[in-house]
Structure 1
Amino acid sequence: MTSRPAATARARSAAVSALVPVLVAALASVLALAGCTSTSGEPVVATPGAGLPAATAAPTSALARYYTQKLDWKKCGNLECADLRVPLDHAAPDPAKDLTIKVARVKALDQSKRLGSLLVNPGGPGASGVAYVRNGAETIGGPQVRRYYDLVGFDPRGVGGSDPIDCLGDKALDRFLATDPTPDTPAEEQAWLAQSKDMAAGCQAASPDLVKHLSTADAARDLDILRAAVGDPQLNYLGKSYGTFLGSTYADLFPKRVGRMVLDGVVPPDLTSAELGEGQARGFQIATQSYVEDCVKQDCPLGSTPEAALKGLDDLFQEVDRQPLPTGDPSAPLLTEGWARIGVAVALYDQGSWGILTDALREAKSGNGQSLMQLADAYAERRPGGGYDGNLMESIYAVNCLDRPDSPNLSAYEKYAKDFSAKAPTWGANLAWGALPCGVWPVKSTDLPHKISAPGSNPIVVVGTTRDPATIYEWSKRLRDQLDNAVLVSFDGDGHTAYGRSNTCVDSAIDDYYVQGRVPKDGLRC
């Protein structure tokens, strides 16, 4: 990587604002590397599986009213937007309790040869698909994909504009995120336990019915209603990060309805809470190692060798824990270890932001926490000066804790921290203790981690990046091996997810799959 100049305050602020939250794909930087070239020509319409029901066929008669609804598209800025009705409880639909799913689309450029809709989810859980399409439609797929597909984004239930769950006030959420995420004394453990209980209790108090129905399986059933509403007999889908969990859950529930599906940066549905934390700790450790190896080629503020720089980062976290740094923001005047770790983590999602991180760390070493706080704000969708633009930092727990419950015993997290840190010294304790809210979550779900196979589905394309910080490469291989009909495309590189941000080899293979129906060779490496 070439050296990038130090950012001005204005340029750094603009760059920071482009960064997106944890487990959200498609950060701003796109690297065009040598690789395969596209052979996309005229579009090839997918052939539905034998005996496939009509697009509006509902799994049960009680759901028929939802499957036959028509979307009323209206202009909303550079998009068309509509509302989708879904039942709060798919097993017992009650029109009085219906939820509203916000949907947005950019229509295919060539409507005469349109292949249908490509439904997209950027991750989270808790990221807005409406915002994803609004702000990045030109980066979702190549020109041929955008020519032949309507791009459709949606906010899953409880997220963004779709009956969002709101668990904590802004100040309370600030306190939650600022709390020491690596407690090493009984008092610090109790402080984090108290904050975890506040988050859990707040979600239940704010939305006592909704909080019971925010699992990924619930959202996958909504996704099938949306598929019917856009008129497609099968689901054409792009899921990134958590969106792969949503997509693979859909495939397991509705395998015959899978059209052309890409799952990029995989979160396998059979991961337990502990496996998720341990894997992410290792992933961020690998990404941090790549970052410091690059940092020392420049004027690195952490040290002159990778080993020294890695220790320098660990030391900085400890120093900020002991003595938080001023941020210049009266609404969050101190950069705590909690905020600092968030700021560093988000910059590891894309190697294009490493220069921003280096500048921020240099400032922090000099006693100024402003830039790291700006990075943390971008991660949390927090406005400098206070307030949040979305509910990512609440919905991520509301969904994850239904999908992956954990232990209520502090001793379990002490053991996690020890075990994770043996493999990931910088991030192990952080990711271990991060699951504590799920240990005290007030609602238990029947949709627990399990292997999926999606028998009878069309071919599913799984994409993995070898040094992905948030969704480790082995998870992509794990899901590929579980699915009955899938291929694996691997990108040897850095950053979170690959399609649309890595190289032409990955992009061409996926574009050809969507437009031509040409399934990539299993084991393709880019």
Structure 2
Amino acid sequence: MSRPLRTGALSAAALLLAASAAGCGGGGGRPDTSARQKLDWATCPTPSDSEDAAATKPLGKEWECATLHVPLDYRKPHGDAVGIAMIRAKATDRRHRIGSLIFNFGGPGGSGVATLPALGHSYQQLRTRYDLVSFDPRGVGRSSGVRCLSDRQLDAYYAADSTPDNGSEVKGLIRRVKTYAAGCEQHSGKILPDVGTTNAARDMDLMRRVLGDKKLHYFGISYGTELGGVYAHLYPRNVGRALFDGVVDPQQTPEQGALGQAKGFQLALADYLKACHKSADATCPTQAEILRLLKRLDTHPVRGIGGRKLTQSLAAAGIAQSLYSRDYWQYLTQGIANAEQGDGRILLALGDAMNGRDPDGDYSTLQSSLTAITCADYKERYTVHHVERKLPTFRGASPVFGDFMAWSLTQCTDWPVRGTWTTPDVSAPGAAPILVIGNTGDPATPYSGARKMADELGPGVGVELTYKGEGHGAYDSGSSCVRNTANAYLLNGKVPEKGKVCT
């Protein structure tokens, strides 16, 4: 669950909305993949059954879709192409338009085509001077999204025990990981070698040129900050106004990132428990009660939704999902109380949101794309022996999430493609200032990552802003200080003073 917990800024509600938004697929033949290609913006198509989710809210007329064609392998520019699904809403003040503002909402694996219209109301002020633009990165959603198992197989995969207690359960976990990897290779093998972050950054620069922008103006959230950092390293002179929110620590290996997330989610859980008990809600759980519930679910799942059971793994995913935003703490309280009484529906719904499953049983490519991109990026392939040696450290970091995070390190063990780096290079000498926002209570991308990112970007490039709050990311936290500072930078180019703090 280390990388799988990195679902970016996608809240439970946004994830449930995600698959209902329309995207655009790639074309056949050998389309033009140069910067001279023209984007054919048109009304977004109706989503297919496999893309439908709980919400059926149609997109407004302001949203248009198009397909950008990019080389599958940039070393072979005239070889196979990939269609990158894009979406936009044009700036409302055309006289004072700055250009396009390109969003990546994280994951890796989050669909920008789905998420931008779902969350578009949050960016209306930015839309006055920018065309709001987002996309499904290669290997995600309608951009040749990676698929590995059938929906029914995924139900079993995510419900299965992900914290083995004995040798037999360890073998079962590794067998499932191997089956998953083999399914990815069988169904999506052609694109797996080329879904890494470096290629996604190259796609963004081609996107910038085709959109007609001299500079890339960018809003990256969670993994989107890593993608933005890699872009800045590759194209420092092309960076315009860029904002990183919910920042990934670029210096961490997957193991260090997983351990950092274990600590981050444990901190967020502690903050939730403190706030809950301060509210004098009689249904507030204790950590000990949560641990007992998870232990009981390991052997005795409870009633869920439509004949499905709430298992230990699904409950842990639901608890983690609810910690991404303070808005979902109330559902966590009720979900735990209900599960104690044998009703697992709320925690199961939250766990499904984490895993990209809609109420009809259809899975998006969220988690399969996440695994594919992570394993294409990172070289490390962790063994069972390595995980078992590290378990005490992870348990010390988080009694609740430690085991889950440690065993998640096996996700790339039998992956069919080699990784690229130990850690990404995000140094960007010569780039314009990049606003880097760190949230002290962020569970998924702990606060320390913002300082590391700002330092790695380099002097005069990384400008850190601190938000003392809760949840994943800061722009949508409700802090007027954060939003006003960010908007002043993006809309007017006003870089905040070094070390500014918002509450």
Check whether TM > 0.5.
yes
Percent identity of the aligned residues? 38
Give the 3-state SS of the residue equivalent to 1:153 in structure 2: strand
Report the 3-state secondary structure (helix = DSSP H, G, I; strand = E; otherwise coil) of the residue aligned with 2:38.
Answer: coil
Residue 172 of structure 1 aligns to which amino acid in structure 2?
A: Q
Indicate the residue corresponding to 1:296 in structure 2. 277
Give SS of 1:261's match: strand
Q: Who is 1:153 aligned against?
A: 134
Q: 2: CA distance between counterparts of 1:27 and 1:387?
A: 18
Q: Shift in Å at residue 417 of structure 1?
A: 2.0
| Residue identity opposite 1:126 in structure 2 | G
Tell me what 2:7 maps to: 23
Matches within 5 A, 1:483-502: 483-484=457-458, 485-502=461-478
Whether 1:68 and 2:36 are equivalent positions in the alignment is yes
**Which of 389, 407, 419 is the aligned partner of 2:381?**
407
Letter in 1 for 2:191: L
| 2:309 counterpart of 1:334 | yes
Alpha-carbon distance in 2 for matches of 1:318, 1:254: 49
The whole-number CA distance in structure 2 between the counterparts of 1:281 and 1:136 is: 28
Residue from 285, 288, 297 that aligns with 1:311: 288
Query: Which amino acid in 2 is paired with 1:428?
Result: G
> Structure 1 residues 323, 405: CA separation in 2 closer, same or farther (over 3 Å shift)?
farther
Matched, 1:83 2:58: no
Alignment of structure 1 residues 2-13 onto 2, 5 Å: none
Match of 1:432 among 406, 413, 416: 406
Matched, 1:284 2:265: yes
Distance 1:427 1:193 in 2: 19
> CA–CA distance in 1 between the matches of 2:403 and 2:281?
29
Pick from 216, 223, 241: which aligns with 1:242? 223
Confirm or deny that 1:122 pairs with 2:96: no
Q: Is the Cα contact below 8 Å between 2:43 and 2:65 reproduced in 1?
A: yes
Q: Is the 8 A contact 1:88 1:94 kept in 2?
A: no
| Residue in structure 2 matched with residue 323 of structure 1 by the alignment | 300
C-alpha distance after superposition, 1:279-310 (max 9, x if no partner): 1100000000011112223334454xxxxx01
Separation in 2 of the partners of 1:416 and 1:400?
A: 20
| Equivalent of residue 352 in structure 1, options 327, 347, 362 | 327
Separation (CA, whole Å) in 1 of partners of 2:491 and 2:382 = 48
- Tell me the amino acid that sits aligned with residue 355 of structure 2: A
Task: Say if 1:106 and 1:137, in contact at 8 Å, map to a contact too.
Answer: no
Q: Structure 2 matches for 1:126-525, cutoff 5 A?
A: 126-140=109-123, 143=125, 145-297=126-278, 298-301=280-283, 303=285, 309-330=286-307, 333-388=308-363, 390-484=364-458, 485-525=461-501
Map 1:22-61 to 2 at 5 A: 22-25=6-9, 27=11
Per-residue CA distance 1:125-167 (angstroms, 9 max, x = gap): 1111111222111113x52x21000000100001011111111
8 A Cα contact 2:100 2:132, kept in partner: yes
Which whole-Å CA distance do the structure 2 matches of 1:65 and 1:384 have between them? 38
- Unaligned runs of 5+ residues in structure 2 are 14-30, 45-58
In 1, distance between residues paired with 2:353 and 2:402? 23
Q: Secondary structure at the match of 1:462?
A: strand
For residue 192 of structure 1, report the CA deviation from its aligned partner: 1.1
Q: Deviations over 1:313-349 (max 9, x none)?
A: 111110111201111313xx21111111111111000
Question: What SS class does the counterpart of residue 236 from structure 1 fall into?
Answer: strand
1:215–1:447 Cα contact (<8 Å) kept: no
Q: Match of 1:105, as an amino acid? A: R
Cα distance in 1 for partners of 2:246, 2:498 equals 16
Greater relative contact order structure (CA < 8 Å, 6+ sep): 1
Are the counterparts in 2 of residues 21 and 127 from structure 1 also a CA contact under 8 Å?
Answer: no
**AA partner of residue 472 (structure 2):** H
Tell me the distance in 2 between the aligned counterparts of 1:478 and 1:270.
Answer: 7
Query: 2:78 is matched with which residue: 82, 90, 94?
Result: 94
CA-based RMSD: 1.8
Structure 1 spans left out of the alignment, 5+ residues: 1-19, 30-62, 304-308
Q: Which residue of 2 aligns with 1:10?
A: none
Tell me: CA distance 1:326–1:398, structure 2 relative to 1, closer, same or farther (3 Å): same
Deviations 1:216-275 (A, max 9, x none): 111111111111111111100000001101111100111110000001111133321101
CA-CA distance at 1:21 after TM superposition: 8.0
Distance 1:184 1:518, change over 3 A: same
Q: Is the 8 A contact 1:280 1:469 kept in 2?
A: yes
Cα separation, 2, equivalents of 1:387 and 1:247 = 30
In 1: Cα distance, 2:198 partner to 2:421 partner: 7
Instruction: Please give the per-residue CA displacement for 1:59-114, whole angstroms capped at 9, x wherever unaligned.
Output: xxxx995222121111224211100000110112234x200000000110111111
Task: From the superposition, tell whether residues 301 and 411 of structure 1 become closer, same or farther in structure 2 (CA, over 3 Å).
Answer: farther
TM score, norm. by length of structure 2: 0.89
Q: Are positions 1:103 and 2:47 aligned together?
A: no
Whole-Å Cα distance in 2 between the matches of residues 476 and 434 of structure 1?
24
Q: Distance in 2 between matches of 1:441 and 1:109?
A: 46
TM-score norm. by structure 1 comes to 0.85
Contact residue 329 and residue 385 of structure 1 kept, 8 A: no
Evaluate the alpha carbon distance shift between residue 300 and residue 344 of structure 1 in structure 2; reply closer, same or farther with a 3 A threshold. Answer: farther
Change (3 A) 1:386 1:64: closer
